Amino acid sequence: MTEPTTPDPGHAGTGDPREPTGDRPGDDVPAAAWSGVHRGPLREGEWVRLTDQKGRRHNFELVAGKRFFSNRGHLEHDELIGREEGFTVASSAGGEYLVFRPLLSEFVVSMPRGAAVVYPKDAAQIVAMADIFPGARVVEAGVGSGALTCSLLRAVGPHGHVLSFERREEFADVARRNVNQFFASPEGETHPAWELRLGDLAEELPSVEHRVDRVILDMLAPWECVDAVAGALTPGGIVCAYVATTTQLSRIVETLRAHGGFTDPQPWESLVRDWHVEGLAVRPGHKMIGHTAFLVTARRMAPGERPMLKKRRPAPGAYGVDYDGPRPADLPPQVAEERFDD
Ligand SMILES: C[S@@+](CC[C@H](N)C(=O)[O-])C[C@H]1O[C@@H](n2cnc3c(N)ncnc32)[C@H](O)[C@@H]1O
């Protein structure tokens, strides 16, 4: 089945608010949703993403009267302004470009970076598995380049609160620019649910005035913040840490366990593989985003409550003479004498 190439001119709408309205020029996503998304014709001041035939991407802000230059000549911004996204356009030297507004997942991997960003595959896991909900009070640290912040703000919406901590001012500045570029209104208002504070999370979190539902840690040494996180999280709240190496993973899991005020931490990673699908040639793609980082979540127990003792004893030697990290409080004494057989 093929689609008509022009919008149906007879579609005037029924007035039903549930009806999709994107094909009526002028119908934008409600500004009060703070989604960072627009529909309808491309407007001056919006960002667009051009993709050429080799898959190279160019993101730029539409400015009336300006030209976009590439290795295939140029094209006028005015040729794009006023058109519905999802079209191809040719440059002066015959280059062809696909024109869309950038998706959030595209924006965060192309925006300027201070620190390394949380990739979209992991941001999606964090939003789902740390159960970020509309209206949630979320703390994150460090803010880095603001990539995860954008996904958290999308998920909590204007009635939630994302309080981001960052100890390096230059990274906070990069994050502020990126997050505001994605969400700011044409009038320059910034996302009402976002607050950015400079400082070290372990030192600053105790002075936060209210309990929070979720804490997301993306930093080198999240175990240094576990006491502060326990103090800030509401009972049933979730801490989620994102760490790049196995040594970090071990340290954060064992620190959460040794604290005693969290459920047994759940560590995992996600691997995403794309597929080549072309006629009879259907096979895994050659490229794959393999390891990015590990994730771990745990839930805060109520004050004074401890999680249940494990029925299963630890693997032989897991906490034996060769182990020098934090220890769970409830280990049988003989475990400390064991040797680890590898
Ligand atoms: C990998 S980056 C975070 C990237 C960010 N999540 C994103 O998606 O763009 C780690 C950041 O944590 C900051 N950081 C490390 N330890 C911190 C702490 N204890 N408190 C606040 N920020 C911290 C670093 O300065 C750095 O900017």
Per-residue HEC secondary structure of 155-174 comes to: HHCCCCEEEEEECCHHHHHH
Q: How many residues does the chain have?
A: 342
**Both structure tokens of 212:** 């929070």
Question: Which residue puts its alpha carbon closest to atom 2 of ligand 1?
Answer: 144
- Return the ligand 1 atom nearest residue 143 CA: 5
Ligand 1: residue of 143, 168, 248 to mutate (most ligand atoms within 8 A of CB) is 143
Question: Which residue puts its alpha carbon closest to atom 14 of ligand 1?
Answer: 142
- Return the ligand 1 atom nearest residue 115 CA: 2
Domains assigned to the chain = 31-102 (3.10.330.20), 106-306 (3.40.50.150), 309-342 (no CATH)
pLDDT at 27: 85
Ordered per-residue pLDDT tens for the chain, 342 residues: 555 554 443 333 445 555 555 556 558 899 999 999 999 999 999 999 999 999 999 999 999 999 999 999 999 999 999 999 999 999 999 999 999 999 999 999 999 998 999 999 999 999 999 999 999 999 999 999 999 999 999 999 999 999 999 999 999 999 999 999 999 887 889 999 999 999 999 999 999 999 999 999 999 999 999 999 999 999 999 999 999 999 999 999 999 999 999 999 999 999 999 999 999 999 999 888 889 999 999 999 999 999 987 778 888 899 999 999 999 888 888 888 888 875
- Return the ligand 1 atom nearest residue 225 CA: 19
pLDDT at 340: 82
Helix/strand/coil for 97: strand
- Return the ligand 1 atom nearest residue 123 CA: 8
Helix/strand/coil for 303: coil
Ligand 1 center to 169 CA (angstroms): 11
pLDDT at 188: 86
Question: Which residue puts its alpha carbon closest to atom 1 of ligand 1?
Answer: 116
d(CA 34, CA 26): 17
Ligand 1: residue of 219, 226, 229, 245 to mutate (most ligand atoms within 8 A of CB) is 219
Ligand 1 center to 328 CA (angstroms): 27
Ligand 1 center to 220 CA (angstroms): 8
- Return the ligand 1 atom nearest residue 118 CA: 8
Residue type, 127: V
* 86: Cβ contacts below 8 Å, ≥ 6 apart: 99, 100
Q: How far is CA 50 from CA 4, 104, 207, 289, in A?
A: 23, 15, 45, 23
Ligand 1 center to 279 CA (angstroms): 45
- Return the ligand 1 atom nearest residue 142 CA: 12
Ligand 1: residue of 167, 181, 248 to mutate (most ligand atoms within 8 A of CB) is 167
Ligand 1 center to 37 CA (angstroms): 26
CB 68 within 8 Å of CB 58: yes
Ligand 1 center to 166 CA (angstroms): 6
Could you tell me the strand order of the sheet in which 57-61 lies? 57-61, 47-52, 96-100, 87-90
pLDDT at 24: 60
What are the pocket residues of ligand 1 if the criterion is a CB atom closer than 6 Å to any ligand atom? 115-118, 141-142, 144-148, 165-168, 171, 200-202, 218-220
Q: How far is CA 97 from CA 65, 108, 228, 291, in A?
A: 19, 21, 50, 32
